[in-house]
């Protein structure tokens, strides 16, 4: 194990790495449920995303608590906490975007590209988990982080199409337009959060050598 090279890998460290793994796995599940909810237009599934966010927040608190109780060497603790916080911010974006979806009906013109973004978000999150596991094993992360960035670039390209198409959607009121804009912004910002989290895995990886 990579971590055994730099620390005793005691009980607290194992609890932290296992909880971090669970946190990312929950995030992957939330992205999958969100994507499924969009594809099926299932409002109940979208509410499940919000429940998963609450579960993820509980795991985040557990990770941070164990870290500040003495897990890991002091110099790496801030980066571990920052990574978990960034992943949790992605959870928050998912929850908020799900909430906006529940407020209004997504126009047909925007559904296909919205689903495409949700699929890419899910794949990015799965790659984040793969990158985390690779970091623990001490493997090179560059190709995996590059894959995350390629996914993010694809989402950026779709974002411009969504914005263009959204301008052609008839809007009955300011608030309906605001909700739609917030939904699209959240949907296309999730990838930014995942990319930021992956960057911190690289930082942790380098600092632990």
Residue ranges per domain, the chain?
Answer: 3-207
Residue 33: partners with Cβ closer than 8 Å, 6 or more residues away: 45, 48, 49, 52
- Fold for domain 3-207? Methane Monooxygenase Hydroxylase; Chain G, domain 1 (1.20.58)
R_g over Cα of the chain? 18
DSSP 2: -
Residue 9: predicted pLDDT: 58
pLDDT tens per residue across span 11-56:
788 889 999 999 999 999 999 999 999 999 999 999 999 999 999 9
pLDDT tens per residue across span 63-101:
999 888 888 878 888 999 999 999 999 999 999 999 999
pLDDT tens per residue across span 172-185:
899 999 999 999 99
Residue 10: predicted pLDDT: 76
Q: Is the pTM value of this prediction over 0.85?
A: yes
Distance CA 182, CA 115 (A): 16
pLDDT tens per residue across span 115-170:
999 999 999 999 999 999 999 988 999 999 999 999 999 999 999 999 999 999 99
Residue 7: predicted pLDDT: 45
* Residue 4: other Cβ atoms inside 10 A: 10
């Amino acid at each position: 194990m990579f971590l055994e090279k730099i620390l005793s890998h005691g009980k607290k460290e194992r609890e932290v790495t296992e909880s971090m793994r669970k946190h990312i796995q929950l995030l992957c599940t939330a992205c999958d449920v969100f994507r499924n909810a969009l594809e099926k237009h299932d409002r109940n599934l979208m509410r499940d995303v919000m429940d998963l966010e609450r579960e993820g927040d509980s795991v985040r608190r557990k990770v941070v608590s164990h870290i500040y109780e003495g897990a890991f060497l002091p110099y790496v603790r801030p980066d571990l906490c920052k990574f978990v916080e960034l992943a949790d911010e992605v959870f928050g974006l998912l929850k908020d975007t799900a909430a906006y979806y529940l407020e209004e009906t997504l126009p047909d013109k925007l559904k296909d590209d919205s689903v495409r973004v949700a699929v890419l978000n899910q794949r990015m999150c799965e790659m984040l988990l793969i990158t985390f596991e690779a970091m623990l094993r001490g493997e090179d992360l560059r190709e995996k982080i590059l894959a995350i960035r390629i996914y993010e670039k694809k989402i950026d390209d779709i974002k411009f199409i969504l914005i263009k198409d959204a301008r052609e959607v008839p809007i009955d009121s300011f608030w309906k337009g605001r909700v739609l804009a917030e939904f699209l912004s959240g949907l296309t910002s999730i990838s930014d959060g995942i990319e930021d989290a992956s960057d911190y895995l690289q930082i942790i990886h380098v600092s632990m050598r």
